[in-house]
Amino acid sequence: MLLLIAIFTYFSGSQVGYIYNLTNIKRSKYNHQWCEFKFQTSPSKVRRVVGFSVPHHAELQRFEESKSPIFLRNVIENKDPEEDDIVFNQQSVVQAAANCDVDFTFIPQLKQSNLPLQKQATDVDINEISKLIQNQKVHTTGRISLGSLEPKKVEVKSSHQVLKVKEDCLIEDKTGHVTIHIWGDLIEKLVHGKSYKLANLNIKTFQGKTYGTTTDIRGSKN
């Protein structure tokens, strides 16, 4: 009984959307075969999927070429909003979806290998942030409000570092406000009520809400 509970907690029900930027099959240093692709699940949300089921690669490629919506079932999802990847493994299933199963229009994307170098982040007003897509980087300026909660410790999976993050913060300007997650040393550097330019703010979405995470800071003003 305990085993069944663990399994159904571990796997999600399904995700529906459009696949693009499917890579060729790669081989890790431990000789595991894998691939990855982007999966658009809403007008503003794109998630990275890491696939370990090599037999599904040809099928995924056909869906990418046809630009048809699909269901990904029995995928593993990371519930940490900072780590939004999906894992597609041997127990996962890909199924065709009908156009009526998605409520947004897919805009086909170029393969990453054909894209020019990523443009530098641009300056935006805060009311524009809600319209941005996952992992887009921007600069924005506004007044910082620090919440009352203590920072929590989070292990960053890519580096296995344990860093502090403060998630109950806002940045606001004359156009609006948005939640930001402040990481690491910036927690001590930022002063409640002062205005700052946050450089390379990384845009994230979780459960339909858009927020920013800090990576850098450029100057301050009263």
Contact 186, 199 (CB under 8 A): no
What CATH number labels 2-114? 2.40.50.140
Predicted confidence at residue 12, as pLDDT, reads: 57
- Please state whether 79 falls in left (phi above 0), alpha (psi between -120 and 50) or beta: alpha
CATH architecture, domain 122-221: Beta Barrel (2.40)
SS3 55: helix
One digit per residue, pLDDT tens: the chain, 222 residues? 333 333 333 445 688 999 998 999 888 877 888 899 999 888 778 888 999 988 999 999 999 989 899 999 999 886 655 567 888 999 999 999 998 888 887 766 544 443 344 456 788 999 988 888 778 888 999 999 999 999 998 876 666 778 889 999 999 999 999 999 999 888 998 999 999 999 889 888 887 788 999 875 554 444
Q: What's the rounded Cα separation, in Å, for the pair 77 and 196?
A: 34
Q: What is the residue extent of each domain of the chain?
A: 2-114, 122-221
Instruction: Confirm whether 2-114 and 122-221 share one CATH topology.
Output: yes
Predicted confidence at residue 120, as pLDDT, reads: 66
User: H or E segment at 222?
Assistant: none
Predicted confidence at residue 181, as pLDDT, reads: 93
Q: Two tokens at 61?
A: 């490629």
What separation, in Å, do the N-terminal and C-terminal C-alpha atoms of the chain show?
59
Predicted confidence at residue 206, as pLDDT, reads: 80
pTM over cut 0.75: no
Q: What's the rounded Cα separation, in Å, for the pair 114 and 116?
A: 7
Distance of CA 156 to CAs 82, 99, 203, Å? 9, 37, 17
Predicted confidence at residue 82, as pLDDT, reads: 56
